[in-house]
Amino acid sequence: MNPARNLILVGPTGAGKSCIGRRLAEHYHLRMVDADNEIEQRTGADIGTIFDCEGESGFRAREKAALEELLQADDLLLATGGGAVLDAGNRALLQSRGFVVHLRVTPAQQIERLRHDRSRPLLARPDREKVLAEMAAVRGPLYAEIADLAFDTETLGAAEATRRLLLELDQHWQRWSV
């Protein structure tokens, strides 16, 4: 068991990090923070605009700074952006500051879940399936590297995924307390 004050959700876009995260935060009485939303609030711009103005590297620098600041706190449920694990420093930080849950989903299911979503800059292309498969090949091993627990959301709605994940967390996460 990894005793940790924070619960951190990692995984690809469309895995359910934000939706499931809100439910878990309520259950465990944690402050819910969606890292991408936090970056948007801090900059006053949406992720797409940040990508347009600063490129992916500019966004990743903002993401790193936000994670470093956010993870100084305790009793937090953090839903990371899908690419947060690309930076080795972020991976070390996530691993050291919380119990990390990798929410897994296949690219095919991501396409289904994100079919109406046009807000994700890295998917603003006609070959979305190819992009998601390439991301999965690069990011999947990085999620697995830092995960204390892997949980498959592929065939589950948010309510059922949360219910089952709570059972898993009760077995694997010993919430550290003062």
Extract the runs of DSSP E, i.e. beta strands, from 92-177.
99-104, 149-152
CA distance 164 to 176: 21
Q: Which two tokens stand for residue 81?
A: 């952006």
55 annotated binding-site participant: no
91 annotated binding-site participant: no
Of 51, 20, 57, which is closest to residue 120 (Cα–Cα)?
Answer: 51
Q: Which residue has the higher pLDDT, 82 or 126?
A: 82
Domain residue extents for the chain = 7-172
20 within 8 A of 158, measured Cβ to Cβ: yes
Q: What is the pLDDT of residues 62-71, one digit of tens each?
A: 999 999 999 9
Q: Which two tokens stand for residue 28?
A: 């465990």
53 annotated binding-site participant: no
pLDDT at 116: 64
pLDDT more than 70, % of the chain: 88
CA distance 87 to 175: 26
Identify the band that residue 124 occupies on the pLDDT scale cut at 50, 70 and 90: low
Of 143, 129, 9, 128, which is closest to residue 86 (Cα–Cα)?
Answer: 143
Q: Which residue has the higher pLDDT, 116 or 136?
A: 136
Amino acid at 14: G
82 annotated binding-site participant: yes
Amino acid at 74: D
| Least confident stretch, 17-21, 114-118, 173-177 | 114-118
Identify the band that residue 125 occupies on the pLDDT scale cut at 50, 70 and 90: low
Residue 178 has pLDDT above 50, yes or no: no
The rounded mean pLDDT for the chain is 88
pLDDT at 118: 63
Q: Average pLDDT in the 126-146 region?
A: 88
Q: Which residue has the higher pLDDT, 50 or 123?
A: 50
pLDDT at 176: 61
> Which residues in 35-44 are b (16+ Cβ under 10 Å) and which e?
bbebbbeebe
89 annotated binding-site participant: no
18 annotated binding-site participant: yes
22 annotated binding-site participant: no
Q: Which two tokens stand for residue 175?
A: 């919430």
CA distance 46 to 44: 7
Q: Which CATH number fits domain 7-172: 3.60.15.10, 3.90.1150.10, 3.40.50.300, 3.40.50.720?
A: 3.40.50.300
pLDDT at 28: 94
For the chain, the residue count is 178
Q: Which two tokens stand for residue 156?
A: 């589950």
72 within 8 A of 98, measured Cβ to Cβ: no
16 annotated binding-site participant: yes
139 annotated binding-site participant: yes
